[in-house]
Structure 1
């Protein structure tokens, strides 16, 4: 059986002159809709019937031990891999930020941000605005080799958000950063997501990071989602808050850490 992979745009009514306004059903439809998702490598089903929905503007963190299929799931949502079975409904505009910034060494910072955008008078202005949002407008003409790890990852984030994605996929984007830079990047991502309101899926091994940033946390285990729980900890989320600590303890238990 082959997977039914569809973009949200394919389901929306359209006109050759101008797009039709979204219906009430389309406005409330999830940005991501997975049903019965399976991905098999050899004889092993890494994803074995995953059901997941992510609302527009919702931030979901995905936890799981190494090798459980977290990145495989993200790659399928980003059209970098294909499901073997199931329904995959995703919006047409989606971007990925990886653990490594993956900047083009031969292009300056601004050119890295706008790479792939349609050519036009607004491209430079759009790129500079995106760099300003991540605090790097003064680095527009710098070369990637001159940036720190945190600065390079901020450029990668600006490159993802400049396209105004409906779905932002984050694959452990802070894992290579030092602890202080990581916290600052978490705050920056949280602020930018609130401002741009894409649906977000964050793949992470860091339970505290998941609880600190996400509206919901899901845990992938044995090819299925073992937990799907809303984060109700009050903001600003403090690890010393008993509710934060209680959720952290339950999530660690799901991951086999007691």
Structure 2
């Protein structure tokens, strides 16, 4: 059944950035970013390479620090990167609870998380035996095992083949609806952003250039009038085509 867009105004704030700056050398990669994201909201960040998307995500994850402005982020947060970043010397279930004591309690926690991503039978295998999609599902299970209020996704589907990517889109959407964290997804894929998000933010030149809420109900289909129109607008904001040029899926 189609799902309508939600109003998140009454939800707790998961991310609040005010005037955030990050400078490398003399170049401001982020130059006065103001963004607010609330619990349960799925937000995609689009922008050309080098425009600060990953830097912003790293600041949200606590892996980098801003040079100016104010950063407020939910304390319970997890990150999934483009590479699964599994420890090959540890079994799959141990990777899910990496950083925690390895005992019966954490084994149960890992097993539950692996069941959610469809890998319950893979708990005791070694990471090198997994496919790329399976390894990324383990990374997702590891992120969800922390019960995050904020889930950060740094192009987690980019290295996957087309069919696996579609399956991962569906899986992430299911898990998001079940757990309702705030999600911030960094992607270069305009279609992916429209299909998955409540809201799309375009960064360029270190600034927020466009911020729009997607009102189309889910599930969304490429080729729908609303989809095509939004795709054309986002491509125009990215400087790929002019706003009056038809875009084809």
TM (norm. structure 1) is 0.88
Q: 1:238 aligns with which of 221, 239, 244?
A: 221
Q: Deviations over 1:124-170 (max 9, x none)?
A: 11110100000001111110000000000000000000010111000
Residue 123 of structure 1, CA deviation: 1.1
For residues 86-101 of structure 1, what are the structure 2 equivalents within 5 Å? 86-101=69-84
Give the conservation status (yes or no) of the 8 Å contact 2:51–2:205.
Answer: yes
Moved more, 226-235 or 82-91: 226-235
Q: Which runs of 5+ in 2 are unaligned?
A: 1-9, 242-249
Please give the alpha-carbon distance, in whole angstroms, between the structure 2 residues aligned to 1:164 and 1:242.
37
Match in the other structure for 1:171: 154
Q: 1:60 aligns with which of 18, 21, 43?
A: 43
**Does 1:199 find its partner at 2:173?**
no
Match in the other structure for 1:257: 240
Q: Deviations over 1:224-255 (max 9, x none)?
A: 11111001122210011110111111001111
- Secondary structure of 1:31's counterpart equals strand
Match in the other structure for 2:64: 81
Residue 28 of structure 1, CA deviation: 3.8
Match in the other structure for 2:118: 135
Please give the alpha-carbon distance, in whole angstroms, between the structure 1 residues aligned to 2:108 and 2:182.
25
**Does 1:109 find its partner at 2:106?**
no
- Secondary structure of 1:106's counterpart equals coil
Residue 118 of structure 1, CA deviation: 4.8
For residues 37-56 of structure 1, what are the structure 2 equivalents within 5 Å? 37-56=20-39
Please give the alpha-carbon distance, in whole angstroms, between the structure 2 residues aligned to 1:220 and 1:81.
18
RMSD: 1.0
Please give the alpha-carbon distance, in whole angstroms, between the structure 1 residues aligned to 2:188 and 2:92.
29
Please give the alpha-carbon distance, in whole angstroms, between the structure 1 residues aligned to 2:41 and 2:99.
26
Residue 117 of structure 1, CA deviation: 2.9
Please give the alpha-carbon distance, in whole angstroms, between the structure 2 residues aligned to 1:68 and 1:146.
36
**Does 1:155 find its partner at 2:120?**
no
Please give the alpha-carbon distance, in whole angstroms, between the structure 1 residues aligned to 2:215 and 2:14.
22
Q: CA 1:166–1:105 in 2, change beyond 3 Å: closer, same or farther?
A: same
Please give the alpha-carbon distance, in whole angstroms, between the structure 2 residues aligned to 1:140 and 1:87.
41
Give the conservation status (yes or no) of the 8 Å contact 2:11–2:40.
Answer: no
Size of the aligned set, in residue pairs, is: 232
TM (norm. structure 2) is 0.91
Q: Deviations over 1:18-53 (max 9, x none)?
A: xxxxxxxxx744110000000001111110000000
Q: Deviations over 1:199-231 (max 9, x none)?
A: 110000000000000110000011111111001
**Does 1:189 find its partner at 2:172?**
yes
